[in-house]
Amino acid sequence: MDGERLRRQIAFIVEIDKLKGILRRTRVTVGGRRENDAEHSWHLALMAMLLAEYVEGAGVDVLRSVEMVLVHDLVEIYAGDTYCYDEEAAAGKVERETKAADRIFVLLPPDQAREMRTLWDEFEQGETPEARFANALDRLQPLLQNYHTGGRSWREHGVKSERVFERTRPVAESAPALWEYARDLIADAVEKGFLG
Amino acid sequence: MDGERLRRQIAFIVEIDKLKGILRRTRVTVGGRRENDAEHSWHLALMAMLLAEYVEGAGVDVLRSVEMVLVHDLVEIYAGDTYCYDEEAAAGKVERETKAADRIFVLLPPDQAREMRTLWDEFEQGETPEARFANALDRLQPLLQNYHTGGRSWREHGVKSERVFERTRPVAESAPALWEYARDLIADAVEKGFLG
């Protein structure tokens, strides 16, 4: 047994516990506290398992999308969460997150560091069907959270329906039926006064 | 598009948000608050991706183990978390969780309800290599959490090293190298005074 290899794997596993402390702007439906990146990633993984049938075209390798969503936010341990409706913060996001990626994955043995980095790069580039699906889920899930918490996070940050529409629109490229659902939900949120 | 099918899938996805409110006895390493089942499940899924090489024998279908750990605690939304060192609570656990499984998975369309229930049953029975690996991770992860939070949860509940040893021992059946690591960690926790 290669003790050094396992030692590095465990060190990474312990380090990523910090993802549980990275808070998003969205809220959970019970108690209304802010959601953290780890539980958000878990939610996306289950959504990938359940909604893959809606991906247009030849379908997706579900495992790859699942792996991608499990890994996609790890860089935020060092880069922090960037609120998607904050344009100033968005400016330095790519640079911050790339630097963070350079730091976190190298904790692993080289072969696994490469695999994880490849998954993250693929998610960020959003060009494969698996990455587009993973990205679509990452847009859809906060919409569900916001809708089912009465739009609290939208109202707290003065977010308008046009921006939510625009932010969620890429779902259509991966899964048109999910986009139809999302569009109706946004309209309903406006009607209910959750969203301006 | 079958609107009723998607409506049921989304209803399930919204319902399982409640897993984020089910608290375990273990603590997270940043801030020391109690860990919830959703973030715990995320952590196990990443461990499955990274540690599958240690499974003895012909190896495992990693996707299946990943899916199993993502789903394994959903029943606790209705059954609550049962502390593994609480013998009284353990008495009714199987019955409580089976009742909960009967309630939660049926929110999904029938085919997916069956798939999810099959995953959960397989995890609970612990007979396949994938289920044994998933169970091993479910024993190893709290050990890591407890060790890296100075044994706080062990000390709070007066847990002795013999019981942690016994609880973690099944790791050996799936992945002997991980059990060796775990055993050394338990010994070190005793030496450091984290564990009596």
Q: What is the pLDDT of residues A118-166, one digit of tens each?
A: 999 999 999 999 999 999 999 999 999 999 999 999 999 999 999 999 9
Q: Which domain holds residue B101?
A: 3-192
Integer Cα distance of B101 and A140 in angstroms: 26
Q: Which residues in chain A touch residue B18, judged by CB atoms under 8 angstroms apart?
A: 29-30
Report the residue of chain B nearest A20, measured CA to CA. Answer: B39
Q: Do B43 and A17 touch (CB under 8 A)?
A: yes
- Picking from B21, B39, B41, the nearest residue to A30 by CB comes out as B21
**Minimal CA–CA distance to A149: which of A191, A188, A194?**
A194
How sure is the predictor about B91, in pLDDT bands with cuts at 50, 70 and 90?
confident
Identify the pLDDT of residue B18.
98
Cβ(A12)–Cβ(A108) under 8 Å?
yes
- CATH number of the domain that residue A76 is part of: 1.10.3210.10
Q: Which amino acid is at B96?
A: R
Contact A154, A186 (CB under 8 A): no
Percent of residues, chain B, with pLDDT higher than 90? 92
Please state the rounded mean pLDDT for residues B155-167. Answer: 96
Cβ neighbour number for residue A93 with a 10 Å cutoff: 15
3-state class of B150 per DSSP? coil
Query: What mean pLDDT is predicted for residues B76-96?
Result: 91
Best probe of the A interface among B13, B55, B146, by most A CBs < 10 A, is: B13
Count A/B contacts: CB-CB distance under 8 Å.
122
Distance (Å, whole) CA B28 – CA B13: 25
Q: Which residue has the tokens 């699906």?
A: A133
pLDDT value for B56: 93
Q: Does residue B175 have a pLDDT over 90? A: yes
Q: What's the mean pLDDT in B147-173? A: 96
pLDDT band of residue A54 (cuts 50, 70, 90) is very high
CA pair distance A9, A157, nearest whole angstrom: 39
Instruction: Name the domain count of chain B.
Output: 1
Bridge-partner residues for B36, per DSSP?
B23
Tell me whether residues A50 and B17 touch, CB distance under 8 A.
no
Top residue of A1, A16, A39 to mutate, by most chain B CBs within 10 Å, is: A39
Reported ipTM: 0.97
pLDDT reported for residue B10: 98
C-alpha–C-alpha distance, residues A94 and B193, integer Å: 44
CA distance A22 to A2: 32
The answer to whether the pTM exceeds 0.90 is: yes
Residue of B nearest to A112 (CA): B50
Cα separation, B90 vs A127, in Å, equals 48
Instruction: Please report which confidence band the pLDDT of residue B89 belongs to, taking 50, 70 and 90 as the band edges.
Output: confident
**pLDDT at residue B1, as a whole number:** 57
Contact A13 B112 (CB under 8 A): no
Is B93 buried (19+), middle (13-18) or exposed (0-12) by CB count in 10 A? middle
Mean pLDDT of A36-61: 96
Mean pLDDT of all residues in A92-102: 94
Please count the other Cβ atoms lying within 10 Å of the Cβ belonging to residue A36: 25
- For residue A184 the two structure tokens come to 């109706």
* pLDDT tens-digit readout, B36-73: 999 999 999 999 999 999 999 888 999 999 999 999 99
Rounded to a whole number, what is the distance in Å from the CA of A16 to chain B's nearest CA? 8
Mean pLDDT of A39-49: 98
Residue given tokens 């909960």 in the structure block: B100
Instruction: State pLDDT tens for residues B103-146.
Output: 999 999 999 999 999 999 999 999 999 999 999 999 999 999 99
d(CA B90, CA B117): 21
User: How much is the pLDDT for B160?
Assistant: 96
Give the pLDDT of residue B87: 86
pLDDT digits (tens, 9 = 90+) for A74-91: 999 999 999 998 888 888
Alpha-carbon gap, residue A30 to B146, rounded angstroms: 26
